[in-house]
Chain A
């Protein structure tokens, strides 16, 4: 990364320094190795098992056969990716203007106003989904509203148990997380750039598209990343508000470890999702490094 090597203390011998570093880095590394790396490796091996609880050998490729011969799995993976994409884009679309307003129009009160807005993000995810189950249900708030407005006849759950319900709930859940990085990116913009653009004769629209928008792109990108990835593996929200027509790929995985009790297939499905997420993160990280930590000098 082109940084000069930093030793904690110049007068220390390299050996002492190494020992200290070793003492600091070993416990987290061991923990990660045993409970993160090893499980992923074992999961990869499980994809080649014959049955859920039998021995590993002889290897079997039954899980691969049933996975790759069933196009329904791919269709669901595709539609889940699509749903994750829409969720990420919609959350960003809704969060962007409000971040813009907060950063450029509200002065020093912006942090308080932002905190107020993202407060729900700190409340249990399950409870937020529960709230939407209450709102969207057949006796729910939304239906009552529509009935009293004369728009629908009776209390059919028109929204609950559909893909739309999953989308609405997920967007609701993720807006605060999309707003944070966009807000942070906007805060870093030097307001003098706007003045300069105006002085040079740019209209507000031109200033936005040629100055502000490009500068906020890193924030938009990390918002996209942090919404898209978890949504792709989502299974709880579809389970609660999606019903049969709203299931996602994550439900498929959960099912293999629940009712269907097919661990090898479930392990394979997880691996496929992991590879997909891995490729996506790798490509993404090449453009926008999100996890960089500088060494202090």
Chain B
């Protein structure tokens, strides 16, 4: 009985794995295929698309924009979300529940609604759309994730480490910098990385809030309409996929290192 279950389960796991990975592998395979059409049989191996990728200035520009937006919005989201996390994990204050409810609301709001609301705000304030407006949108959606990840980490540690530091004469802000922040560091780094990947991939907000400068997903989207440009889009996809996997493995490793040291002190 249990043996049958085991084999059935394994079979199902492999089937689902295939279903989930095959489309991704397909993109990677086609990025090396020597044909404009994305059809089988494959025509032969080529690096032509990768060479063209290096010369596609518009695309490289878009990638640079995405990188910049990802960096800035993740740093801001990490700082703001981290501060909020320390506040909610270390203090009980009137309005704490209210703050928590509002701060986690971006988790459940459909992106198209948030995008439209921000678009209207910027138009009402006569703020021209630019990379900055996208950064603001991405910061809003990343803040709650950072807050929850860091707060979860902090609530795993009791206050007594911080109390000990203060007893030994450290100031509050000194304690914050030298005890609280190091405790939260693995969570902060993990939150930063996941914010970055989120921002780098995000399409809906960027689509509505982009001015004359595109992000990579917005650029890719604009290319999907032209069949002749599909190979280049697929090749970009392949590059992004490979980079994402490396970042993912790195952040997973960091998370492992972070949680393995978790002492449930007190």
Give me 24 A-to-B residue pairs in the complex whose CB atoms sit less than 8 angstroms apart, sorted by A's number: A6-B92, A6-B159, A11-B166, A17-B91, A28-B103, A35-B136, A105-B10, A119-B245, A120-B23, A122-B244, A122-B248, A123-B201, A123-B241, A125-B201, A126-B217, A127-B24, A130-B220, A134-B27, A250-B110, A263-B120, A273-B113, A291-B104, A293-B148, A296-B158
**A24 in contact with B119 (CB, 8 Å):** no
Interface residues on chain B, size class? 35 or more
Tell me whether B112 is interfacial, beta carbon within 8 Å: yes
Q: Could you say which of B117, B140, B159, B172 contacts A42, with CB atoms under 8 Å apart?
A: B117
Please report the total number of A residues contacting B with Cβ < 8 Å: 95
**A233 in contact with B112 (CB, 8 Å):** yes
User: Which A residues lie within 8 Å of B88 (CB)?
Assistant: 293, 295
**B16 in contact with A117 (CB, 8 Å):** yes
Given contacts A32-B103, A123-B244, A131 and B27 within 8 Å (CB-CB): yes
Tell me whether A31 is interfacial, beta carbon within 8 Å: yes
User: Which B residues lie within 8 Å of A139 (CB)?
Assistant: 37-39
* 9 extra interface residue pairs, beta carbon distance < 8 Å, beyond A139-B37, A139-B39: A9-B159, A35-B118, A35-B140, A42-B124, A122-B245, A123-B24, A225-B108, A296-B154, A297-B158
Q: Write the chain A residue with the least CB distance to B27.
A: A131
Report the separation of the CA atoms of residues A184 and B107 in the bound assembly, to the nearest whole angstrom: 19
Report the separation of the CA atoms of residues A125 and B143 in the bound assembly, to the nearest whole angstrom: 20
**B157 in contact with A296 (CB, 8 Å):** yes
**A135 in contact with B23 (CB, 8 Å):** yes
User: Which B residues lie within 8 Å of A236 (CB)?
Assistant: 203-204, 221
Given contacts A20-B172, A35-B118, A25 and B112 within 8 Å (CB-CB): no
**A291 in contact with B107 (CB, 8 Å):** yes
Q: Write the chain A residue with the least CB distance to B165.
A: A9
**A233 in contact with B113 (CB, 8 Å):** yes
User: A residues 66-103 with Cβ under 8 Å of B?
Assistant: 94, 97-98, 100-102
User: Which A residues lie within 8 Å of B147 (CB)?
Assistant: 28
User: Which A residues lie within 8 Å of B93 (CB)?
Assistant: 21, 25
Tell me whether B1 is interfacial, beta carbon within 8 Å: yes
Tell me whether B190 is interfacial, beta carbon within 8 Å: no
Report the separation of the CA atoms of residues A24 and B92 in the bound assembly, to the nearest whole angstrom: 13
User: Which A residues lie within 8 Å of B111 (CB)?
Assistant: 230, 233
Given contacts A115-B252, A257-B116, A124 and B217 within 8 Å (CB-CB): yes
Given contacts A120-B20, A295-B91, A296-B154, A127 and B197 within 8 Å (CB-CB): no
**A97 in contact with B113 (CB, 8 Å):** no
**B13 in contact with A28 (CB, 8 Å):** no
Tell me whether B34 is interfacial, beta carbon within 8 Å: no
Report the separation of the CA atoms of residues A281 and B117 in the bound assembly, to the nearest whole angstrom: 19
Q: Write the chain A residue with the least CB distance to B30.
A: A134
**A105 in contact with B5 (CB, 8 Å):** yes
> Could you mark each residue 98-129 of chain B with 1 if its beta carbon is under 8 Å from any beta carbon of chain A, else 0?
01111111111111111011111101100000
CB of B234 to closest CB in A, whole Å: 7
Q: Write the chain B residue with the least CB distance to A114.
A: B13
**B159 in contact with A141 (CB, 8 Å):** no
Tell me whether B240 is interfacial, beta carbon within 8 Å: yes
**B116 in contact with A266 (CB, 8 Å):** yes
**A101 in contact with B9 (CB, 8 Å):** yes
> Could you mark each residue 1-31 of chain A with 1 if its beta carbon is under 8 Å from any beta carbon of chain B, else 0?
1011111111110001100110011011101
Tell me whether A254 is interfacial, beta carbon within 8 Å: yes
Report the separation of the CA atoms of residues A234 and B115 in the bound assembly, to the nearest whole angstrom: 12
CB of B114 to closest CB in A, whole Å: 8
Q: Could you say which of B16, B86, B104, B139 contacts A24, with CB atoms under 8 Å apart?
A: B86
Report the separation of the CA atoms of residues A139 and B163 in the bound assembly, to the nearest whole angstrom: 66
The 8 closest A-B pairs by CB, nearest first: A233-B110, A101-B9, A131-B23, A39-B117, A124-B201, A39-B121, A28-B84, A24-B87
Given contacts A117-B13, A125-B203, A25 and B84 within 8 Å (CB-CB): yes
**A296 in contact with B116 (CB, 8 Å):** no
Report the separation of the CA atoms of residues A42 and B201 in the bound assembly, to the nearest whole angstrom: 28
**B140 in contact with A36 (CB, 8 Å):** yes
User: Which B residues lie within 8 Å of A185 (CB)?
Assistant: none
CB of A167 to closest CB in B, whole Å: 14
Tell me whether A161 is interfacial, beta carbon within 8 Å: no
User: B residues 143-196 with Cβ under 8 Å of A?
Assistant: 143, 147-148, 151-152, 154-159, 162-163, 166, 172
